[in-house]
Structure 1
Amino acid sequence: MRISVAVITYNWPQALGLVLRALARQTELPHEVIVTDDGSHDDTRQLLERVARDYPVRLVHLWQPDDGARMSRARNRAIAAAQGDYLVLLDGDMVAERHFIADHRAFARPGCFVQGSRVLTDEALTRRMICGELDQPGFFERGIERRRHTLRLPLVARLYARPGHKQRGIKSCNMGFWRDDLLRVNGFNEAMTGWGREDTELAIRAFHAGLSRRDVRFSALATHLYHPTRKCIVDNPNDRVVEDTRARNLVRCEMGVAAHLREFIAPPADLRSVGASAGAPIHA
Structure 2
Amino acid sequence: MELSVIITTYNKEIWLQKVLEGYANQSEQNFEVIIADDGSNSNTKHIIDSFQNRFIHPIQHIWQEDNGFQKCKILNKAILKSTTDYLLFTDGDCIPRFDFVAQHLKNKEKGYFLSGGYFKLPMSVSEKISLNDIKNQNCFSISWLIKNNVSKSFKLTKLTRNILFAKLMNCITPTKKTFNGHNTSCYKEDILAVNGFNEEMQYGGLDRELGERLLNNGLKSKQIRYSAICIHLEHERIYASIENWKKNNEIRNYNQKHKITKIEKGISQYL
TM interval, short-chain normalised: 0.7 to 0.9
Q: Name structure 1 gaps, 5 residues minimum.
A: 262-284
Q: Which residue of 2 aligns with 1:281?
A: none
SS of 1:58's partner is coil
**Shift in CA distance, 169/210, structure 1 to aligned 2, threshold 3 Å:** closer
Distance, in Å, in 2 between the alignment partners of 1:169 and 1:207 is 10
Contact 1:153 1:219 in 2 (8 A): no
Match of 1:203 in 2: 211
CA shift for structure 1 position 234: 2.5
SS in 2 for 1:53: helix
Q: Distance in 2 between matches of 1:133 and 1:181?
A: 38
Q: Secondary structure at the match of 2:260?
A: coil
Instruction: Give 1:249's aligned residue.
Output: 259
Determine helix, strand or coil for the equivalent of 2:65: coil
Where does residue 59 of structure 1 map in the other structure? 59
TM-score, normalised to structure 2, is 0.87
Q: Paired residue for 1:134? A: 133
> In the superposition, relative to structure 1, how do residues 147 and 14 fare at CA in structure 2: closer, same or farther (>3 Å)?
same
In structure 2, what residue type is equivalent to 1:224? H
- Equivalence for 1:278: none
What code does the residue aligned with 1:95 have? I
Q: Secondary structure at the match of 2:261?
A: coil
**Shift of residue 48 of structure 1?**
1.3
Matches of 2:265 and 2:52, distance apart in 1: 32
Partner of 2:163: 154
Query: 5+ unaligned residues in a row in structure 2: which ranges?
Result: none
Aligned sequence identity (%): 28
223-232 or 114-123, which moves further after superposition? 223-232
Aligned-pair distance for 1:219? 1.1
For residues 52 and 238 of structure 1, the distance between their equivalents in structure 2, rounded to whole angstroms, comes to 37
For each residue in 1:155-178, what CA deviation from the matched residue of structure 2 results, as whole angstroms up to 9, or x when unmatched?
33334556xxx8575421110111
Counterpart amino acid of 2:140?
A: P
Q: Is the 8 A contact 2:160 2:166 kept in 1?
A: no
> What CA distance in whole angstroms lies between the structure 2 residues aligned with 1:60 and 1:66?
18
Aligned length: 256
Are the counterparts in 2 of residues 160 and 216 from structure 1 also a CA contact under 8 Å? no
User: Which one-letter code corresponds to 2:222 in the other structure?
Assistant: R
Q: CA deviation at 1:189?
A: 0.5
Kindly provide the CA deviation profile for residues 84-108 of structure 1, in whole angstroms up to 9, marking residues without a partner as x: 1110001000000000011001111
Over 3 Å counting, the alpha-carbon distance change for 1:144 and 1:171 in structure 2 is farther
Q: Once the 2 structures are TM-superposed, how far is the Cα of residue 57 of structure 1 from its aligned partner?
A: 2.5
Aligned pair in 2 of structure 1 residues 86, 170: CA closer, same or farther (>3 Å)? closer
Once residues 30 and 268 of structure 2 are traced to their aligned partners in structure 1, the CA distance between those partners, rounded to angstroms, is 24
- In 2, the alpha carbon distance for the partners of 1:251 and 1:25 equals 37
Matches within 5 A, 1:95-134: 95-129=95-129, 131-132=130-131, 134=133
Instruction: Show the counterpart of 2:188.
Output: 179
User: Secondary structure of the residue that 1:206 maps to in structure 2?
Assistant: helix
Distance of 1:260 and 1:154 partners within structure 2: 41
CA RMSD of aligned residues (A): 2.1
Q: Which residue of 2 aligns with 1:15?
A: 15
Of stretches 97-106 and 167-176 in structure 1, the one that deviates more from structure 2 is 167-176
* Stretch deviating more after TM superposition (100-109 or 152-161): 152-161
Q: Is 2:198 the counterpart of 1:189?
A: yes
Q: CA deviation at 1:75?
A: 1.1
